[in-house]
Structure formats: structure tokens, C-alpha cells
Chain A
Amino acid sequence: DAGVTQSPTHLIKTRGQQVTLRCSPKSGHDTVSWYQQALGQGPQFIFQYYEEEERQRGNFPDRFSGHQFPNYSSELNVNALLLGDSALYLCASSSPKQVDYGYTFGSGTRLTVV
């Protein structure tokens, strides 16, 4: 089991551009959450997808949007990139159906906005 896989691993974008990050959850998991981790900070919750719908959302602007596909994989889209969007973006999968659920994290996508 490959666990949670994220692509790409690194990305450099120019201010004002748009970016799409991808996540495949761990086998058996149906819920995907996205987190932003700025340098020296703990991860901050962006949003969570379950059954192809956004179930919870953190304090992030509408420039951040997402999608979940029928195979449970997910995308995070960020429009009109700002320098402050530079961060490590983490995907975590889970399944609330499991009695002892847990969150499994991917290695992240390092986004640099220049």
C-alpha cells in the first residue's frame, strides 16, 4: 500500500497564476483533507472532502477550491497566487467508517510563488 500520494512534489509558480495539486488517498480511505504548512508553523486546515462534497472548510479565501472524484482522489486549486501562498501543502486521508480512524498524511507538495 503506497499510502497517500501527492503530486507534484515541488512546484514554482508566478504571482497571479493558478495551480492544481493532486492527492490519492490511502486504500480504504474515502475522506480527503488538505492542509497548508507555512515555514516554521504547524499545518493549517484548508478543507475536507467526503462523498465528493466539501464537508468542512477552514479560514481560507475562495481562491482556494477543491474537488473530490468518484475514486476518492482529490485536487486542490489555488487561483490568483500570492507570494504568501508559498508553503507545503499536505493531503491527509481518513475514513470515518473505521472504528479506530486515523489520518494518514502524504509527503506534501512544496509550492513556491515568485
Chain B
Amino acid sequence: AQRVTQPEKLLSVFKGAPVELKCNYSYSGSPELFWYVQYSRQRLQLLLRHISRESIKGFTADLNKGETSFHLKKPFAQEEDSAMYYCALSGPGAQKLVFGQGTRLTINP
């Protein structure tokens, strides 16, 4: 079964503190992993994907196949990072996205 679990519905940290949003997945094979973000009153947009291995807005995510995790990290949170974050996976070849329930991140000043 394909499943994405984000154990934290809400996460609140202070500006300048490190942030880690957890994501665990279940998939038979080698999935593609994504993090999507939705800022207030904006559409869902891609933040990063594991095959790109790039850092976007200071966020990084490492795929750990042993632990089947794809946690999103940022060393120093900024107020503009407040948003809803969704972890998602898909099979190869532009297959459907399977989303987690999302984590609402709030950065306190």
C-alpha cells in the first residue's frame, strides 16, 4: 500500500530556530518524494523533490530509504515560512501523487 504519514498536524517554532517537519512513507519499490507548500491564500506549489537534491528557500530534505523517511529541514526559520506543508510520493512516470495530511507550520516572531 502507498501511504504518507506526517505525524505532526501543527508545529510552532520561534524565528531563527531550526525546523524539522517529519514525513514517513510506505511504498513497494522506489518512489519519488516531494514536499509541497501552500502559503496563505495561495495555491499548492512544489517546494522540492528528492531527485533534484537542491535547496529551496533554505529547506532541504534527505531521503532515508532505510527508515522510509523524507524529513524537511531548515536551520533557521523565518516568519515567511509559516504555511501548510505536504509531503507526497509518486511512482515512476508521472503517476498519481499520494499526499500526507499536512503539517501547519507557524513561525513565531
Contacts of B46 in A (CB 8 A): 102-103
CB-based contact A101/B99 at 8 Å: no
Does B43 lie at the interface of the complex (its beta carbon under 8 Å from any beta carbon of A)? yes
Q: Quick one: CB contact mask for B74-97 with A, threshold 8 Å, 1 for yes? A: 000000000000101000011111
> Is residue A90 within 8 Å, beta carbon to beta carbon, of the partner chain?
yes
- The answer to whether A42 touches B43, judged by C-beta atoms less than 8 angstroms apart, is no
Contact assessment for A105 and B96 in the assembled complex, using a CB-CB cutoff below 8 Å: no
Q: Are A45 and B98 in contact (CB under 8 A)?
A: yes
In the complex, the answer to whether A43 meets B49 with C-beta atoms within 8 Å is no
Interface residues on B, range: 20 to 34
Contact A42 B96 (CB under 8 A): no
- Chain B residue nearest to A56 (CB atoms) is B96
Q: A106-B43, A107-B43, A108-B43 are contacts. A42–B101 as well, Cβ < 8 Å? A: yes
Is there an interface contact between B97 and A43, defined as CB atoms closer than 8 Å? Answer: yes
Q: If the complex has contacts A31-B94, A48-B96, are A105 and B45 also in contact, measured as CB distance less than 8 A?
A: yes
B11 within 8 A of A: no
Contact indicator A56/B102 (Cβ below 8 Å): no
Chain A residues in 8 Å Cβ range of B97: 33, 35, 43, 45, 92, 103
User: Which residues of chain A have C-beta atoms less than 8 A from B96's C-beta?
Assistant: 33, 45, 48, 56, 58
A43–B101 contact, CB under 8 A? no
Give the residues from 81 to 98 in chain A that come closer than 8 angstroms, CB to CB, to chain B. 90, 92, 94-96
Interface string of A100-114 (1 = CB under 8 A from B): 111101111000000
